[in-house]
Amino acid sequence: MKLIGEPIFARDETGRLKSRIGTVFLRTPGLVTETGIHATQRLSWIKALNREHAASGQPLLSEDEVDAEMTRSVDLLFDDQFVLIRPDPYAMDLAFEADEFLQSLVAKHRIRFLNIQIEHVRNALCARGENWRMSRIPCAPEEMNQLIASARVSIGGLPLYFYNPSTGTRFLTLDTFGWLDRLPDDTFRAQLREIAEFCAKRNRFGHPEVDIFPPRCAFTRQAFEALDVEGLTATSLREAYRKLLHVFHDAVPEPLQDEDVDNTEWRNLMCSALTSQPNAVTSEEIIPGISPEFYMQIEWLPGARIENGELIFDSLCDEHGNTPADPAVSSLCDLRAQGVIFNYVRELGNIEFINVGRITRSLSIRKPDLSQRANVYVVQVKEADKTAVEFHILRFQKWCVYEHLDEGKDLITAIMEAADYTDYIFDRRLGCRQLGMNLPAKVTTGRIRETYVGVNKDYHGTRCWVIYFARDYIRGHATDKIRARRYADPEFSRRFAKLLGEAAAINLIVGRTYSDKRVMFDDGDEVIVFDEKGFPNHLIVSDHTGTFTEYQYPLHVCASDYAEPVNRRTAFLCNAAEFADLYLNALHDRFVRTQEDYRHRKRAFDNLFRNHPVDPAGSFAYRWQCVLKRLDATDADVLTASIRHHIQALNS
């Protein structure tokens, strides 16, 4: 293999990457990492081949041979962690060939793909079970800061620009342009020459080589066309530069002139510029119907593909077996994900591809799970006889054999208590549905085998089972993540208030709280499904976690908690008092209907769990009895009045 430039990930004395771009050539295998742009790297490659031909007495490359070298080349970008392949969407075979070539130089888990906004690219990766190799857009503040820090690049001189790897455009900011005045005359002229030259150029994808930040700024790159870099004296050139700087300064909005990651507005807009993609799609187009905030939290893991009916796990899993000490590979090769894939392939005989991801950051406002293992996974699966790709949510049972063994219990007790907890979860689900909570229509269970290596050393190496619950993804938006601007539409607010009030009534009845008795509601599990016009149509509670936790206190005790969903939206509402009234009326009416339903069919409710043990220490059958008695004894008018008392819009 021929290398022109520095090795991938080579760093200078300050620790910065020596090169941020590369071009891999597949006709004559080789790699160019010289500084510059991809076009100049291709020219360097042809010149190097011609020098070799001349030195060995061979004729120089013909035009057809030059075209063949260029055609069989692929753009690369480098950041501090990954080699990023920028594929031609209509030549994915070439991109995958480049991927295989690069794996001889870099570990597979450090190679990712760009241009995932293009359907051809996404489909090709999905079909290989390699969603995990799609370059991920940062969403956490620390990830955004790292993106900006690593985006600084040079062309031939100083690292003046912030680089977008998807478009190939480098952004010049006001702060950086203003800093040029500190340079000595020769360097100052060289940098202005570079800026003027590359502001006038476009790359092979049609995007500017250098553009102005922020995007759509009134000061544009065309301003450099009239700058006579070569003809002006040093003094005149600086005068012309300062005039441009003044115009640039006046064109940048004042909040964006403070170029620092602590300036949230500047940071967010810079991240948007660095990750924006041509004809960019939303997350809904990557997985139809999925909400953006949910998609951005998925960490895709190595999956599998099916060829001629044969299951082929991602080769990274083989790499993990050979290098178990590598923490990055160990993290990706999630044994739970592999177990889930194996289950799906055993149960469904016609899978075309499957991708599994995990949710490592909670989307609700509840306390985070402090365990080291992810409990929520997502599955994207395509069956041959179905036109649509299905998307499932998997939630692992919190208390399984593993956790009970960690408590010091013996194996039989751990197995029995884990099975009892599974029944408890389904009993709660049935109780919620009996009382009117709108839950997902279908939930199934699965199990995978794990080897115990926890704190109970007596059982190290013991086989144990972990249970998960699977349901379809609900295509809607969580109530707590609906954008504030939506509430400006009075009709939207009216429909939303009614649905939220009805859900609050059932949430009250089933005593849905945290273990410390704080109310759990409107925190990410309540999902609004919209109609074809974008208005709230119905509300589904995606997860019944926390139900029947509080089954003894009078309901008016938590009145202020059920006023909070109205209070925290008041600032966004144009009709706050009307919203509050609609919410309260819906809550009251739904509570009364449930109460009447219980009184009308009392025997059916009371006997639903009659074959379950009744234990005042907290068995589900006992909790069920307490919840029904409390429902029957509560005065709906008094309860509603108690909540009204805490709503600011009705008491100001």
Question: What is the model's pLDDT at position 211?
Answer: 93
Cα(338)–Cα(449) distance, rounded to whole angstroms?
11
CB 225 within 8 A of CB 210: no
495 pLDDT more than 80? yes
Q: For residue range 109-164, what is the model confidence (pLDDT) as tens digits?
A: 999 998 877 888 888 998 888 888 887 666 567 777 888 888 888 898 889 999 98
Question: What is the model's pLDDT at position 258?
Answer: 83
User: Which of the two residues, 146 and 445, has the higher pLDDT score?
Assistant: 445
- pLDDT category at 368 given cuts 50, 70, 90 is very low
Q: For residue range 323-343, what is the model confidence (pLDDT) as tens digits?
A: 556 777 888 888 899 999 999
- Assign 383 to helix, strand or coil: strand
Cα(15)–Cα(10) distance, rounded to whole angstroms?
9
Q: Where are the alpha helices (DSSP H) in 393-520?
A: 401-406, 411-434, 490-509
- pLDDT category at 293 given cuts 50, 70, 90 is low
Dihedral sign from CA coordinates of 495, 499, 500, 504: positive
User: Which of the two residues, 283 and 518, has the higher pLDDT score?
Assistant: 518
484 token code pair: 């504030």
- Assign 50 to helix, strand or coil: helix
81 token code pair: 């962690």
Question: What is the model's pLDDT at position 283?
Answer: 42
- pLDDT category at 372 given cuts 50, 70, 90 is very low
- pLDDT category at 248 given cuts 50, 70, 90 is very high
The tokens 């990492």 sit on which residue? 33
In the chain, what percentage of residues exceed pLDDT 70?
A: 92
Question: What is the model's pLDDT at position 151?
Answer: 86
Q: For residue range 383-429, what is the model confidence (pLDDT) as tens digits?
A: 888 888 899 999 999 999 999 999 999 999 999 999 999 999 999 99
Cα(535)–Cα(539) distance, rounded to whole angstroms?
12
Question: What is the model's pLDDT at position 396?
Answer: 94
pTM (predicted TM-score): 0.72
For the residues of 102-152, what is the DSSP string, one character each?
HTTTS-GGGEEE--TTSHHHHHHHHHTT-GGGBPPPP-SHHHHHHHHHHTE
Question: What is the model's pLDDT at position 296?
Answer: 60
Give the residue-averaged pLDDT of 449-475: 93
Q: Are strands 2-4 and 30-32 parallel, antiparallel or unpaired?
A: parallel
Q: For residue range 37-60, what is the model confidence (pLDDT) as tens digits?
A: 899 999 999 999 999 999 999 999
512 token code pair: 């849905």
SS3 string of 180-244?
HHHCCHHHHHHHHHHHHHHHCCECCCCCECEEECCCCCCCCHHHHCCCCCCCCCHHHHHHHHHHH
Helix (H) or strand (E) holding 44: helix 38-55
602 pLDDT more than 50? yes
278 pLDDT more than 70? no
Q: For residue range 509-543, what is the model confidence (pLDDT) as tens digits?
A: 999 999 888 999 999 899 999 998 889 999 999 99
Q: Are strands 526-530 and 351-359 parallel, antiparallel or unpaired?
A: unpaired
